[in-house]
Structure 1
Amino acid sequence: MQRSTALQSELLRNEETLRSIFAECSDVSYRTLLIGDRIEALLIYVDGLSDTDGIEEHVVSPLLRVSYEETVGLDQRLKRLITVSEVQDVSTFEQCEAYLLDGMPILLYEGGASGLALGLTKWQMRGIEEPSAESSVRGPREGFTETIRVNMSQIRRIIKSSSLKMETMKIGEYTRTKIVVAYIDGLVDRTLVEEVKNRLGTIRLDGILESGYIEEMIEDSPFSPFPQLLSTERPDVICGNLLEGRVAILIEGTPFTLVAPITFFSLLQSSEDYYQRFIVSTVVRWLRYMYVALSLLLPSVYVAVLTYHQEMVPGSLVLSMASSREDVPFPALVEVLIMEVSFEALREAGVRLPKQVGSAVSIVGALVIGQAAVQAGLVSAPMVIIVSLTGIASFMIPRYIAGISIRMLRFPLIVLAGTLGLLGIMLGLIAIVLHLCSLRSFGVPYLSTIQTPKLGEMKDVLIRAPWWAMRKRPHLTGHYNQYRQPPGQKPGPDKEGEIGNRRGDAR
């Protein structure tokens, strides 16, 4: 029998069909009861997904109190007898299966060719905590959890507007993972929303276990090392992107939420940039850009200069570097590759180990191995300094996935520097820039903010302008409700002087 077959009026046959569907499922419970000592009913729920106390209090107890005379016309009054806020009608076995696996108990009764799905879901969930990978000194301390309803409520609690829309779909033949597409109507380009839903609708997978499944299936260039969607655990980051006309994709079972479209500079912006004073944020942002360049280029420039362009270095420094490398048996290219691979292995080991020992292993391992390698003559002391500065620079990148991309590109640049010198580095940078120019994120150029520079959008790229100066919304896909604040928001000395005068008069 197909699962989409309609429910029948005979309760026994409905029970037999459902038992065959959930055969060998020991966590599916069946409870029979008599309503008014007259009508047989069957209550089905999944133990661990449904609220058993709520079933007893709001379903079983009210139905057992129904008298014999009240059972006449019960099907019309059944919803009013059950004191549950959410009650859905079910008419097919497919609907029964879907609601049961979502944690909603099913109530069937004799003589009724339909049933009721009751909103009594309850399961263990992780509490709201601060995201460990996106911590900030100033700003909200709460992050998303693995429960999608909690994540939706966090966004709704920040954006209290009926224009915030959340459309739900399910993906995965076996997992039936709930996916929510969130956007603000009136700010977002409807073409972007339809494109996101169309790409999600074409996914055909057995299961979705994390947002990475979705990201790989809907991005424009899957072979690029650069991510084309932003992943974050912070509700404030999601709300900030929604207010700029972007679309958020929430996935059940993971705290990581996706944002589309993005640019390259979106990966280098931190949520704390918008909570600090704009002067501090601008300085920190330029420091971050500088260290991103160091993370990408410092080892390769060192190899190129040491191998081919010694004349670019002061003589005293060249003599010092030559004396330190006197006992090193490897060329600079092999030396830096050994150190970089060892450092990346130590960092990855620190991530995989338990938190109590992970940081200690990575730090102590780097110090001990580096010092021992220098004493053994395998590497030079300047090389240890270069690799250490490069590792510190990579930690300045606020997005983990962006940091991985930079770390991956560092190795081909090192090889080019060791074979062609500074010319190889320039060729590698040209290839990277050309690749970035060709990338798209849902049709939006990856370098759109600098490819077609506009004064209003550059206020939040190279600098972080004060909020009163960012009147226009930085749209990527259109100009819908482009002004986010009225003019005249800038604080002036006249207002402060007037307030000071009033205080002086009061004294």
Structure 2
Amino acid sequence: MQLNGSDTKPQNPLTVSIDENCKYLRSIYQQCSDVIFRPFLLFGKIHGMIIYIEGLSDQKGIDEHVLSPLMKNSLEEPLHLFDYLHQNLPVSNMTTVNLIPDCIESISTGNPILLIDGHDQALSLGLAQWKQRSIEEPQAEKGVRGPREGFVESLQVNTSLIRRIIKTPALKIQSIKVGKYTKTSIVIAYIEGVADKTVIEEVTTRINRINIDGILESEYIEELIEDNPYSPFPQILSTERPDITCSSLLEGRVAILTEGTPFTLIAPVTIFSLLQSQEDYYQRFLISTMIRWLRYIAFVASFVVPALYVAILTFHQEMIPEVLLLSIASSREGIPFPAFVEVLMMEIVFEVLREAGIRLPMQVGAAISIVGALVIGQAAVDAGFVSAPMLIIVALTGISSFMIPRYFLGLAVRIIRFPMIFLASALGLVGIMLGIIAIVIHLCTLRSLGEPYLTPVAPFKRDELRDALWRSPLWMMDTRPNFTQDSNYERQSDRLQPKPTK
């Protein structure tokens, strides 16, 4: 028996000799002190071996449901041993394996392997058990109203959370193993008859072509299947919330769940879906629409306002009212740096403080960010390094970026803010217009699994504007997005408008 190159997945079958099988498996797991080989006698006469990884398998279950029933000397050896084991061992999930690679995969996932002398088969026992984090509210996606449950690192728990909301056999969950060494389980979830078959096939094809040594987080999958890897804008939505995942599945999207991370990927998406929050649908539509418009304004302001300030102060002072211009001029008196250097310094300091607050422990992170911003900002103004209006502009920009509901979209805004400042310092308002045009052109060329990023504005789809530029009442949103399968385009009756009973 030989290993297939450097891979630990040899392509060879089990033999009828338990000594030969155990010797080979011991050679594979040599210097692995957590891999337990437990020999015993079945019915007092047949040699058997249980192989499992300590900490991944339920040792109490192995003792009570496997070893205890099989080590009774009073039982006679059945004629068809494997049929007897399938029918009498109190283990719900049990499969027969014939190959060494299947044994290794079973052991690695926490399911013990039962080898029996004289048989070229083994039993994979569904007794995996390990410590996991309890279900709690996602820290990055908290809301005032709505479910408080969030995904965890266990793939089985995450799929059960989705199943608990969408109770239909049309919800399909396909599993794929990715990673040469990690063998990470990836799940593709969709609703059959709602999600377009071409989208499902595209997701499956892109994941199947991944050839990498390991997957440690869903970001690995996202970066390997997105349409434009050089764009700062996220083309796949990541979320920890089961309600967002289920609402996306009902719209015909596809969810990708990864073992070991609570972040689920959803595709295809648009820029408008990335700017939507789960609370948009948990409060009255008029309030949701107003907040959504504020969010759009804040999204644009977060990368335009600093550049606009630099452009006006550098090239277009005549645009500022006289009283305001005098106030700004007096506050800038004695400042040794031009507006461009001012805003660049303050933006860098703000980004450093923001990252420091994230990386520090939760107990001190927020305090360091607030105190650091107050102390450094006030000290910089008092020392004459920056002006007070500049401090206001940077603070307004930071607050605007906090309104963006998706953290990774906020990161993209933080990146493009600096090129906008450079363009404004070089060309003024012309540079800002050129920057905005370049951003719009880039967004028009982006795709998410082939879906245009600016849908439904470009290409224009009038019916879908009801949940993009504003949030229509639920009784008006009777159709799904256009990437849904055509045969299931309607999502509800068109006679749901509430009115008094006659």
Whether TM exceeds 0.5 here: the answer is yes
1:74: how far off?
2.5
Partner SS, residue 467 of structure 2: coil
Structure 2 counterpart of 1:96, one-letter code: C
Residue 138 of structure 1 corresponds to 145
Structure 1 residue 459 and structure 2 residue 466: aligned? yes
| Shift in Å, 1:49 | 0.4
Q: How far did residue 419 of structure 1 move?
A: 1.0
Q: CA deviation at 1:79?
A: 1.4
1:301-316 map, 5 Å: 301-316=308-323
Structure 1 position 169 matched with structure 2 position 161: no
1:219 aligns with 2:226: yes
For the pair 1:256 / 2:263, whether they are aligned, the reply is yes
Q: TM-score scaled to structure 1, two decimals?
A: 0.96
Q: Quote the Cα distance in structure 1 between the aligned partners of 2:53 and 2:356.
A: 40
Report matched runs for 1:30-179 at 5 Å.
30-65=37-72, 67-179=74-186
**2-structure distance, mates of 1:480, 1:267:** 26
Amino acid at match of 1:276: Q
1:475 maps onto 2:482 in alignment: yes
SS for the counterpart of 1:409 is helix
* 1:386 maps onto 2:393 in alignment: yes
Q: Distance in 1 between matches of 2:489 and 2:253?
A: 13
2:444 is aligned with 1:437: yes
Are residues 1:319 and 2:326 paired?
Answer: yes
Q: Distance in 2 between matches of 1:76 and 1:267?
A: 53
Give, in whole Å, the separation in 1 of the partners of 2:232 and 2:113. 47
Secondary structure at the aligned position of 1:480 is classed as: helix
Paired position in structure 1 for 2:12: 5
- Counterpart-to-counterpart distance in 2, 1:237 and 1:203: 27
Structure 1: 4+ residue segments shifted above 3 A: 70-73
Quote how far apart the aligned CAs of 1:469 are.
Answer: 0.5
> Are 1:407 and 2:414 matched, yes or no?
yes
- C-alpha separation in 1, matches of 2:75 and 2:163: 46
Task: Pick from 379, 382, 390 the counterpart of residue 372 of structure 1.
Answer: 379
* Root mean square deviation, CA, Å: 1.0
Q: Following the alignment from structure 1 to structure 2, what is the Cα–Cα distance between the partners of residues 262 and 81?
A: 49
Instruction: Please list, as runs of the form range in 1=range in 2, the aligned pairs for 1:420-435 lying within 5 A after superposition.
Output: 420-435=427-442
Aligned with 1:31: secondary structure? strand
Shift of 1:437: 0.4
Which residue of the partner structure matches residue 209 of structure 1? 216
How far apart are 1:75 and its partner, in Å? 3.2
The C-alpha deviation readout for 1:74-123, integer Å capped at 9, x for no partner, is: 23312122110011101111111000001000111111110100000000
Equivalenced residue count is: 495
Give the Cα separation in 2 of the matches to 1:456 and 1:158.
27
Percent identity over paired residues: 57
Counterpart selection for 2:250 from 231, 239, 243: 243
Q: Hey, what's the Cα distance between the residues in 2 that align with 1:361 and 1:221?
A: 36
Determine if contact 2:456/2:462 at 8 Å carries over to the other structure: no
Output the CA distance in 2 between the equivalents of 1:478 and 1:157: 24
User: Cα distance, 1:14 vs. partner?
Assistant: 1.1
Q: For the residues of structure 2 that align with 1:179 and 1:480, how far apart are their CA atoms?
A: 28
Tell me whether 1:447 sits opposite 2:467 in the alignment: no
Alignment check: 8 A CA contact 2:36 2:53 kept: yes
5+ unaligned residues in a row in structure 2: which ranges? 3-9
Residue 277 of structure 2 is matched in structure 1 by 270
Single out whichever of 1-10 and 188-197 deviates more from structure 2. Answer: 1-10
Q: CA deviation at 1:37?
A: 1.5
Residue 22 (str. 1) matches residue 29 (str. 2): yes
Matching residue's letter, 1:409:
I
Q: How far has the Cα of 1:66 moved from its partner?
A: 5.5
TM-score normalised per structure 2: 0.97
Structure 1 unpaired stretches of 5+: 499-507
